[in-house]
Structure 1
Amino acid sequence: MASDASAAEGSSLVFHPMDQFIVKPLFGDGAIAWYTPTNVTLWLALSIVAIIALLVLGTSKRAVVPTRTQSIAELAYGFIYKMLEDICGKEGVKYFPYVMTLFMFIVSANFLGLLPMSFTTTSHFAVTAVLALAVFLTVTVLGFVKNGAAFLGLFWVSSAPLALRPILAIIELISYFVRPVSHSIRLAGNVMAGHAVIKVFAGFAAIGAIAPVSIAAITAMYGLEILVAFIQAYVFTILTCVYLKDALHPSH
């Protein structure tokens, strides 16, 4: 009976799609402390290097007829600048460096995570939660600095009937503090789900009969993940712009 169970276990298809998200030390197999270099550390650093290569080195020799790298950098710059200006107005343009840095970091980390044998840092809530909390604290502090107590007008829906305003204020307050949770989970959840599905299809590619179907599914999912990598960076950034607008103009 034991040998039969072992044989059945050995012949079964076993794969672990969530193993790709395990944090591992770069050197050795010991315990991980806050100072231990890990695969997360490596790919976070590579994201920063990619941003520097694109925005600094790629535009160091600016020309009237731009190179491909310069064109990509200029498109990213114009895209985020226009988004911020459209949502927040001219007053929000002064916060462009922060918003641009946020977008470039997320989109770089997302695309690097699509490379074979890479690690997707934005699939971890620890990373996206820090980004979301930074946005939340920044816009909250900015709201009080710019508007003082008038910032609380964000929670008071003056256009609603007077009897409903206290109830709506509670709802608005709860939704405001839920922002960093939804902001971080949206990014990490979408990135993690797509990579896990690709891993599942890759596991089925070992079965000869359905290997062509599995490979076709992997190709389709990879194409979809390329779109998701950009769209999720865009969504995170545009929500940041909306929250920034609320801080600058809190009244309903």
Structure 2
Amino acid sequence: MLSQNLITSPLEQFEIVTLIPLTFFGLNISVTNSVLFMIFAFLVAIFWISLSFYKNSVIPNNWQLLKEMVYNVTASIVQDNLGSKGEFYFPFIFTLHLFLLFCNLIGMIPYSFTVTSHITFTFGLALSIFLGINIIGIQTHGFKFFALFLPRGVPLPIVPLLITIEFLSYIVKVFTLSIRLFANMTSGHTLLKIIAGFAWTMLSAGGLLAIFHIIPLGLLLALIGLELAIAGLQAYVFTLLTCIYLNDVLEFH
């Protein structure tokens, strides 16, 4: 009975719980665990950056080295994809990278909440970035920006079909950007929960099974290391694709 009470559904960890119910003119603006951990990730990121500035010296301390490593990774993404014109957008790109990184890493802490495991968050973030990128494209190129959907030298009869195809392939970027992050974080956390539950079930059974529970436990530890790497990789990929999409509208690729 005890093991049945302790082992819960692998999907229960993704449940959004209302902490402070609030409404404003009929609009639900309640504070949930998702909101709480977004704020927490933001505060942890600020605190981590402040540590790197604490007692700065010519010989950098460990916090400085870690911050400089993340900074250099983001700077290389911007430089490789946007060149010198990316300097203007670097503060946003760096903030985005850091925020996603801490959201992913905090989600690895037991009994915490993974903000990026919800499609509502990743889609909302991707859509906001997508709209902002297109506004930048229109401001930069004016009405010539819409030529992005119509390559030169296209025969007139197939223009409507080609515009439709180009538009749909352009819009799908929002979905690929959001689903990639959501799917990786959700599947990884679900797998960890399943294996942890399997190891606990074997341990609770007693006897020979209790001895062999070390096998799924060892696999769990290995997967935790892999999931930590994925947490950093997915923040990197999301940031990289944002720079690529931004460069597309700036350079008309």
TM bin, normalised by shorter chain, reads 0.7 to 0.9
Of 202, 210, 229, the residue aligned with 1:207 is: 202
- Indicate which of 229, 232, 241 corresponds to 2:231: 229
**Aligned-partner SS, 2:88:** helix
Contact 1:154 1:246 survives alignment (8 Å): no
Which residue identity does 2:17 align to in structure 1? K
Moved more, 218-227 or 232-241: 218-227
Any idea what the Cα deviations from partners look like across 1:126-174, whole Å, max 9, x if unmatched? 2111210111011000000000122123222337788766544322210
The partner residue of 1:171 within 165, 169, 181 is 165
Does the CA-based 8 Å contact 1:54-1:70 persist in structure 2?
A: no
CA distance in 1, matches of 2:153, 2:62: 50
Once the two structures are aligned, what percentage of the paired residues are identical?
Answer: 35
Q: Taking structure 1 as reference, are residues 81 and 41 closer, same or farther at Cα in structure 2, changes over 3 Å only?
A: same
Deviations 1:154-195 (A, max 9, x none): 222337788766544322210111111221111011101000
Task: State yes or no: 1:243 paired with 2:245.
Answer: yes
In structure 1, list runs of 5 or more residues that go unmatched.
1-6
Q: TM-score, normalised by structure 2?
A: 0.86
Q: How far apart are the structure 2 equivalents of 1:159 and 1:216?
A: 60
1:44-68: CA deviations, max 9, x gaps? 1110111101223422433211111
Contact 2:22 2:31 (C-alpha < 8 Å) held by counterparts? no
- TM normalised by structure 1 equals 0.86
Distance (whole Å) between structure 2 residues aligned to residue 200 and residue 155 of structure 1: 45
- RMSD, matched Cα: 2.6
1:55 counterpart = 2:49: yes
Residue 75 (str. 1) matches residue 69 (str. 2): yes
Is the 8 Å Cα contact of residues 85 and 92 (structure 1) preserved in structure 2?
yes
1:107 shift after superposition: 0.5
Residue number in structure 2 paired with 1:19: 12
Segment drifting more, 226-235 vs 18-27? 18-27
Rate the CA distance shift 1:81–1:162 in 2: closer, same or farther, 3 A: farther
Which residue number in structure 2 is paired with residue 109 of structure 1? 103
Q: Distance in 2 between matches of 1:247 and 1:41?
A: 32
2:93 maps to 1:91: no
Distance 1:93 1:159 in 2: 35
Q: Structure 2 vs 1, CA of residues 160 and 207 (structure 1 numbering), >3 Å: closer, same or farther? A: farther
Q: Aligned partners of 1:73 and 1:188: how far apart in 2?
A: 26
Cα contact 1:110–1:122 (8 A) shared by 2:
yes
CA deviation string 1:213-236 (max 9, x = no partner): 221221121111011101110110
